[in-house]
Amino acid sequence: MDDLHAPPVPGIGLTAKYPEIGTGPVDTTIYHDPAIFAQEMEAIFKRSWYMIGRVEQIPKAGDFFTCELPSFRQAVLVCRDREGRVNAFHNVCTHRGNVAEHRAEGHCNGLFTCRFHGWSFDLQGRLARMRDEEGFFGADRAGMGLKKIPVDIWEGFIFVSPVDEPHQTLVEYLGEQGRDTAGYPWGACTQSYQFETEIACNWKLAVDSPSEVYHIPVLHPNSAAPTMMAAGNPHGRLLDVTLKGPHRTNSHYSVLAEPKPVQKLAYFHAQAAQNVVQAELDYELPKGINPTRSPWWTVDLITFFPALSFTLSAHMYTAHQVWPLSPNRCLYQQRVFVRPAQNAGQRFGQENTMVEFRDVVMEDLSTLERIQRALDTGQIRKFHYHDHELALRHQHYVVTDILAAYEREQG
């Protein structure tokens, strides 16, 4: 192992690995144009899969949860049936459209009963009971079940498609990024906490925000900077960026050189974000995580295009999902996953990390509405990306490329 006290200075040259995406300023039209937003919904968002939860949330037959796909205004009901399968349905009662299940989560005795007129549906979505059925003119129950939603599972994550016939399978959608990150102990982090907030900005700005660390010394001087810059890295550069088709990974450098007293205590106890080397872990890091195998690695930002990312360390991870709502509005959801703490010290460390991370994210989000105003009013027509803002350049490239292909496809 290299000497942790003599960290290297990460260099320039990330963008040069991918000459196809260029180095010049990029046009900002895709960040505000309503026609482009409409195209993105068709060509990108309707063709993607969405992670809505984990299998551990519904371990037994009859367990369920409900959620929404905000970009599509779809209500979803997910349950486990008696054969152990995970099913997903439009949470829309087929009588007159109320939600079939109104609770956020729970366990049912095999039936979901609508609270409007009392129709019931079983764990496979079949219409099991119409109250006062005699009055329904011999309606055929068989065709009146809950409408199914395509659902699939990867590494314990439940994904759904917003359209009946997905553009590609989940495995195809996840691609190389899915293959390279499978095997991480996703299922060990069974405790989770979440929040969401609506932001008046284009969805891409919210994805961009944590996707570069060029801003770390300036935007996060008191939160992230003391640990992510440290001596050899005054500009907070990344260890690496890897582009994988539409997906990408940022690998983060960190030296815990100047922790505050409370951080020192928390890091000592935490199973959280900290420098680790493989020898200290009880599992093998998949090749897509800490891809450079650096001893100065702490966190990767694993992004599945278009808008799902994981900030992931050796012991915990956070999922970020951005939902486009309009050209200049989106919903940001964050869900932190940690292992059950074995003692009070670990819990303290986890809590400290979550609070630190929340503060960093709030700082990240603080610039977005101002940027959107500049875009909407035409005050900025080009973005100039630093070498270590490669992830943003890549996102711009991928979106532009997909929209061009979609236009050709449409003739």
Which stretches of the chain bind ligand FES, using CB under 6 A?
93, 95-98, 114, 116-119
Segment 243-246 long-range contacts (CB within 8 Å, at least 24 positions apart): 243/18, 243/21, 243/390, 243/394, 244/175, 244/176, 244/177, 244/180, 245/175, 245/176, 245/177, 245/305, 246/175, 246/305, 246/306, 246/398, 246/402
What strand order describes the sheet that includes 240-244? Answer: 191-199, 329-338, 316-326, 308-312, 297-304, 247-253, 240-244
Q: Which is nearer to ligand FES, 97 or 234 (CB)?
A: 97
Q: Which is nearer to ligand FES, 61 or 99 (CB)?
A: 99
Q: State the nearest-atom distance from the C-beta of 128 to ligand FES, in Å.
A: 12
Q: What is the DSSP string of 88-153?
A: EEE---TTTS--S--SSEEE-SSEEE-TTT--EEETT--EEE-TTGGGGTT--GGG-SPPB--EEE
* 364 touches, from Fe ion, ligand FES, none (C-beta below 5 to 8 Å by class): Fe ion
Using left for φ > 0, alpha for ψ between -120 and 50, and beta otherwise, residue 49 falls in beta
Q: State the nearest-atom distance from the C-beta of 119 to ligand FES, in Å.
A: 4
* 85 touches, from ligand FES, Fe ion, none (C-beta below 5 to 8 Å by class): none
Q: For the chain, give the number of residues.
A: 411
Evaluate the CA torsion angle 272, 273, 276, 278 in order and state its sign. positive
Distance separating alpha carbons of residues 152 and 314, to the nearest angstrom = 26
* 119 touches, from Fe ion, ligand FES, none (C-beta below 5 to 8 Å by class): ligand FES
Q: State the nearest-atom distance from the C-beta of 96 to ligand FES, in Å.
A: 4
Helix/strand/coil for 198 = strand
* 187 touches, from Fe ion, ligand FES, none (C-beta below 5 to 8 Å by class): none
Q: State the nearest-atom distance from the C-beta of 208 to Fe ion, in Å.
A: 10
Q: Which is nearer to ligand FES, 106 or 118 (CB)?
A: 118
* 287 touches, from ligand FES, Fe ion, none (C-beta below 5 to 8 Å by class): none
Residue nearest to Fe ion (CB): 364
Q: Which is nearer to ligand FES, 99 or 265 (CB)?
A: 99
Q: How far apart are the first and last CA of the chain?
A: 56
* 98 touches, from Fe ion, ligand FES, none (C-beta below 5 to 8 Å by class): ligand FES
CB 156 within 8 A of CB 56: yes
Q: Which is nearer to Fe ion, 362 or 405 (CB)?
A: 362
* 114 touches, from Fe ion, ligand FES, none (C-beta below 5 to 8 Å by class): ligand FES
Cis? peptide before 306, omega within 30° of 0: yes
Q: State the nearest-atom distance from the C-beta of 147 to ligand FES, in Å.
A: 14
The residues with which 148 forms a beta bridge, in sequence order, are 89
Of all helices (H) and strands (E), which one includes residue 325?
Answer: strand 316-326
Q: State the nearest-atom distance from the C-beta of 183 to ligand FES, in Å.
A: 43
Q: Which residues contribute to the site for Fe ion (CB under 5 A)?
A: 364
Q: State the nearest-atom distance from the C-beta of 128 to Fe ion, in Å.
A: 50
* 199 touches, from ligand FES, Fe ion, none (C-beta below 5 to 8 Å by class): none
Q: Which is nearer to Fe ion, 174 or 307 (CB)?
A: 307
Q: Which is nearer to Fe ion, 235 or 269 (CB)?
A: 235
Q: Which is nearer to Fe ion, 180 or 364 (CB)?
A: 364
